[in-house]
Amino acid sequence: MNTPINTTGSTIIPSLRYRNALAAIDWLVTAFGLKKQAVFVAPDNKTVQHAQLTLGPGMIMIGSVDNGGEAGKFMAQPDEIGFRETQGAYLVVPDADAIYATAKAAGAEMIIDIRDMDYGGRHFSCRDLEGHMWGIGTYNPWQQESSQPKPESAIEHAQESARR
């Protein structure tokens, strides 16, 4: 399950907590195509002390809400705060429509339907099985594809649209 460290990945790695982290990990693998890189489970075989899921060079860390860590007392689950979010995760995928279909089949609540974005790429947003918000799309801010507008042209496009 453990693989070598990917030194080409991002140095900013989101972390989410779940009440049933084992079920969440399986759901994220099924719905979004994430891969289990490492999963450390407590002796009770229920509590996830720490897990690492990857998608290409990207990673997200997962843990159980009640894993005994100090940070847990500073965090709230989406249902405890009216399903509002103070942060979110974005997955860059080659085919947003395919992930939309698997996420929907896995029971994701679609909150922003799939569409082409003004700044490039195709995107949708959904909630997972415990209410965390995820953005999924083809737009990759690390690559300046010819189909993606340059930041200046995206700003100009938005300003032009606002004038109409």
The SS3 of residue 66 is coil
Domain ranges in the chain are 15-66+83-163
How high does pLDDT run on average in the chain? 85
User: pLDDT category, 47, cuts 50, 70, 90?
Assistant: very high
Distance (Å, whole) CA 126 – CA 99: 11
Please give the structure tokens belonging to residue 82.
């009216």
3-state secondary structure of 94: coil
Asked if residue 90 lies in contact with residue 106, where contact means CB atoms within 8 angstroms, the answer is: no
pLDDT at 5: 53
- The superfamily CATH assigns to domain 15-66+83-163 is 2,3-Dihydroxybiphenyl 1,2-Dioxygenase, domain 1 (3.10.180.10)
